[in-house]
């Protein structure tokens, strides 16, 4: 098995949907209600537009590095080569842990969703069934994963398009009285709570966009990375931003920010999702069932992508000597089976912790994971800044890059600064009272000391240093 290689079987349409589907999920279908309720329709648009610009720079940074070196280790490998081996090690394990825990979170969410239809069936039955389905899809081949993700993402995209079309008709007064701009000018609208509310939405927006980096780990199995990755990044980002901005515009016009349903929308109560409310207004009696089905597809898509990407990251860590050699074994279909089994097993273990006691261990795991996505983005920005500087320092012509990220160095530095602000503001209110809420601080920021502990342990053990620009490895040996 060790002599087999990953198969470059993911086509352009797969890469497009992996990039597009990674950012469309419960953050849009459910959390959109909380967003508008918290900051008003205007605040939501500002926050998501601002975070969207940051994500654009992150995607172009990742695109430049990944097109140049398309490997399964992605930003972990890039950080090792262009910055410091310790940073690559910590980012790789951080990413693996993040998406393995995400897999567990999606299993929990899938059980909540199925209870809407089958309230008497134990949650563990649904979670076990969906874990088996996702495992099989990833076990068969990368192409099997790609086709399933293409289907999942296509359904989500079609749902958003239909929502935007129907919502636009309602705004224009087709079949009903047009609300006009009433919901944009009532009470505190369009901006509710001022800057502090917009800052709070930054956090939610950041979580909503997490997943766009999955295209980096999929690049190692892209059929034609130099062509497919730039195409996916250039076209897909603007569609994602359009979907989010368009959806919040529709919600802002049709549902007042002070509607109690918006704040209470959740996976457990899909009947008051903003998407359900809008479909209901158009006369679709089955709206709640439909949105519940879409939510199920969204969580399965997230779990599917998470299992695939974390498996490839564990494989890459093994190839670089940062994980047991066993995990670099690949079968004849190009699937790293030991890494897949280990990732699925860890996801299952994390899920089982939600069934023990009050699930406190699981809550802590989720909180550690929540910070991990932003840490990944920080790593991407730093690695790209160093890559471009090393590329120039070693006498290379930037115009010869397979894909060139625009606005350098502003792009990665802006993304880095905003990511650090978001990380610092995860629970800034814990510091605002008469005394510091240390429990709130620990819950929100636990991911940071865990990451730095891993980073500093590796750095101390192997005495690594930041690689001088002239010595950065710019070779393009991307055969896995």
Checking if the pLDDT of 479 tops 60, the result is no
3 part of a folded domain? no
For the ranges 15-24, 369-378, 454-463, the one whose mean pLDDT is highest? 454-463
DSSP 29: H
Nearest to 77 by CA among 225, 216, 231: 216
pLDDT tens figures, 430-448: 888 788 888 888 888 888 9
pLDDT band at 1 (very low <50, low <70, confident <90, very high): very low
In a domain, 401, yes or no: yes
Proportion of the chain above pLDDT 90, given as a percent: 39
What's the whole-number average pLDDT of the chain?
Answer: 87
Is the distance from CB of 9 to CB of 223 less than 8 angstroms? yes
Look at residue 300 and tell me if it is in a domain. yes
Query: Domain range holding 378?
Result: 12-425
What's the whole-number mean pLDDT along residues 157-168?
A: 90
- Number of domains comprising the chain: 1
Residue 403 lies in a domain: yes
The pLDDT of residue 275 is above 60:
yes
Query: pLDDT band for position 3 (50/70/90)?
Result: low
SS3 string, 243-285, reads HHHHHHHHHHHHCCCCCHHHHHCECCEHHHCHHHHHHHHCCCC
pLDDT-wise least confident of 68-72, 441-445, 452-456: 441-445
Q: Report the distance separating Cα 127 and Cα 110, nearest Å.
A: 7
Domain with 68 in it: what CATH number?
Answer: 1.20.1740.10
On whether residue 189 sits in a domain, the answer given is: yes
Distance of CA 269 to the CA centre of its chain: 23
CA distance 21 to 219: 15
For residues 87 and 324, give the distance between their C-alpha atoms in angstroms, rounded to a whole number. Answer: 19
Q: What is the C-alpha end-to-end distance of the chain, expressed in Å?
A: 13
Give the tens place of pLDDT for each residue, 82-117. Answer: 999 999 999 999 999 988 888 888 888 888 889 889
Least confident of 132-146, 280-294, 412-426: 280-294
Pairwise CA distance, residues 361 & 351, whole Å: 10
Task: Decide if pLDDT at 118 tops 60.
Answer: yes
Tell me the pLDDT tens digit for each residue of 289-308: 888 899 899 889 988 988 99
What per-residue confidence (pLDDT) applies to 233?
81
**CA distances for 74 relative to 11, 68, 79, 153, 215, angstroms:** 18, 11, 9, 22, 9
How far is 219 from 165, CA to CA, in rounded Å? 33
CA atoms within 13 Å, Cβ hemisphere of 455: 20
**Helices in 116-221 by DSSP H: which ranges?**
123-140, 142-171, 182-185, 194-209, 214-218
Whether the per-residue pLDDT at 271 is higher than 70: the answer is no
Assess if residue 154 is contained within a domain: yes
**pLDDT recorded at residue 362:** 66
Percent of the chain surpassing pLDDT 70? 95
Distances 345 to 123, 351, 358, 360, 451 between C-alpha atoms, Å:
18, 10, 21, 20, 22
Contact 68, 441 (CB under 8 A): no
Q: Provide mean pLDDT across the span 406-413.
A: 94
pLDDT at site 106: 84
If one counts every other C-beta atom within 10 angstroms of the C-beta of residue 107, the result is 27
Domain annotation covers residue 305: yes
Higher pLDDT, 124 or 480: 124
Segment 340-369, tens digit of pLDDT: 999 999 888 888 887 776 566 667 777 777
**Is residue 194 pLDDT above 90, yes or no?**
no
Predicted confidence (pLDDT) at residue 455 exceeds the cutoff of 90? yes
Residue 181 lies in a domain: yes
């Amino acid at each position: 098995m060790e002599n087999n290689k990953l198969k470059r079987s993911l086509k352009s349409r797969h890469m497009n949907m992996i990039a597009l589907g990674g950012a469309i999920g419960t953050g849009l279908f459910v959390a959109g209600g909380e967003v508008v309720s918290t900051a008003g329709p205007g605040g939501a648009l500002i926050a998501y537009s601002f975070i969207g610009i940051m994500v654009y720079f992150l995607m172009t940074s990742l695109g430049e590095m990944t097109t140049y070196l398309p490997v399964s280790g992605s930003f972990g490998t890039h950080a090792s080569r262009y910055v410091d081996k310790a940073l690559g090690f910590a980012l790789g394990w951080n990413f693996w842990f993040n998406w393995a825990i995400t897999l567990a979170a999606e299993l929990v969410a899938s059980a909540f969703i199925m209870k809407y239809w089958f309230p008497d069936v134990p949650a563990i039955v649904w979670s076990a069934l969906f874990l088996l389905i996702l495992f099989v899809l990833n076990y068969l081949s990368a192409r099997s994963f790609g086709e399933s993700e293409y289907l999942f993402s296509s359904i989500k995209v079609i749902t958003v398009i239909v929502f935007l079309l129907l919502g636009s008709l309602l705004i224009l007064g087709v079949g009903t009285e047009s609300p006009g701009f009433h919901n944009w000018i009532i009470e505190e609208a369009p901006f509710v709570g001022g800057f502090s509310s917009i800052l709070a939405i930054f956090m939610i927006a950041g979580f909503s966009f997490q997943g766009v980096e999955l295209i980096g780990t999929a690049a190692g199995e892209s059929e034609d990375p130099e062509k497919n990755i730039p195409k996916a990044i250039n076209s897909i980002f603007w569609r994602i931003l359009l979907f989010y901005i368009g959806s919040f515009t529709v919600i802002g016009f049709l549902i007042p920010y002070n509607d109690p349903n918006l704040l209470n929308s959740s996976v457990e109560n899909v009947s008051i999702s903003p998407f359900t409310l809008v479909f209901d207004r158009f006369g679709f009696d089955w709206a709640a069932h439909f949105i519940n089905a879409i939510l199920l597809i969204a969580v399965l898509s997230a779990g599917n992508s998470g299992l695939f990407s974390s498996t490839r990251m564990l494989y890459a860590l093994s190839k670089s000597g940062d994980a047991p050699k066993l995990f670099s074994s690949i079968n004849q279909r190009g699937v790293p089976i030991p890494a897949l089994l280990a990732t699925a097993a860890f996801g299952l273990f994390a899920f089982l912790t939600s069934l023990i006691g009050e699930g406190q261990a699981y809550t802590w795991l989720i909180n550690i994971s929540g910070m991990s996505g932003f840490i990944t983005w920080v790593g991407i920005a730093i690695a790209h800044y160093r890559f471009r500087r090393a590329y120039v320092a070693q006498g290379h012509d930037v115009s010869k890059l397979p894909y060139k990220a625009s606005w350098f160095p502003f792009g990665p530095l802006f993304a880095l600064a905003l990511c650090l602000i978001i990380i610092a503001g995860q629970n800034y209110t814990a510091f605002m009272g008469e005394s510091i809420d240390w429990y709130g601080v620990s819950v929100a920021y636990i991911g940071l000391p865990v990451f730095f502990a891993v980073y500093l342990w590796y750095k101390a053990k192997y005495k690594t240093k930041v690689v001088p620009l002239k010595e950065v490895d710019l070779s393009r040996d991307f055969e896995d």
